[in-house]
Amino acid sequence: MILPITVYGNPILRKKAQPVSKDFAGLKELIANMYDTLAAAEGVGLAAPQVGQSIRLVIIDATPFAEEEPECKDFKRTLINPEILSYPTENEVKFNEGCLSLPGISEDVWRPDKVEIHYFDENFVEHHEVWDGMRARISQHELDHLDGKVFVDRISPIRRRLLGGKLSAMMKGKASARYKIINNK
């Protein structure tokens, strides 16, 4: 089932999300719905607060980058209670990011090019991995959502000011997207 996506200005996107327990009611169904939602919106990552659930759950589909990065082939991951343990690199790279919760906006964001990550998958199997490239990029963007951050928090104040009109329109409920959203009241 496709779920509507929360938009910048919705307080849930600013909340610190809660850890997920094994017995969280409807978890399997929520994950399946998030994959349906991500596919319908043609995104590469989605965090639970973006579908109205303030819990530490993220899905990633890096397969659109498989041509440039072979590691992204078949790379679909469900991350439960994920944590970035370290950034095993000196290298920060920029990439033009967008976000399904900020329709119509994209900006260059600098982030470390490698992460050491710990998470549980949809079967609560523990993983400890090192990701680089787009896997590192998407996981950092999505984990930010679990701590109430969005990518425009990471751009320069000047760039953010230039986006001011678009951001305040979103906050006032005037967002539009080619996928289902929950406009702010």
Instruction: Report in angstroms how near the CB of residue 2 gets to Zn ion at its nearest.
Output: 17
Per CB under 5 A, does 109 bind Zn ion? Answer: no
Report the alpha-carbon distance of residue 160 to residue 145 in Å, rounded: 18
In the stretch 65-104, what mask flags binding to Zn ion with x, by CB under 5 A?
Answer: ----------------------------------x-----
CB-facing half-sphere around the CA of 135: CA atoms within 13 A: 23
Q: Give the CB-nearest residue to Zn ion.
A: 99
Residue 142 among the catalytic residues: yes
Closest by Cα among 54, 45, 37, 39 to 79? 45
Among residues 21 and 63, whose Cβ is nearest to Zn ion?
A: 63
Instruction: Report in angstroms how near the CB of residue 141 gets to Zn ion at its nearest.
Output: 6
DSSP annotation of 158:
H
Closest by Cα among 41, 34, 68, 49 to 137? 68
DSSP annotation of 185:
-
Give the residues lining the site for Zn ion (CB under 5 A). Answer: 99
Question: Which are the catalytic amino acids?
Answer: 142
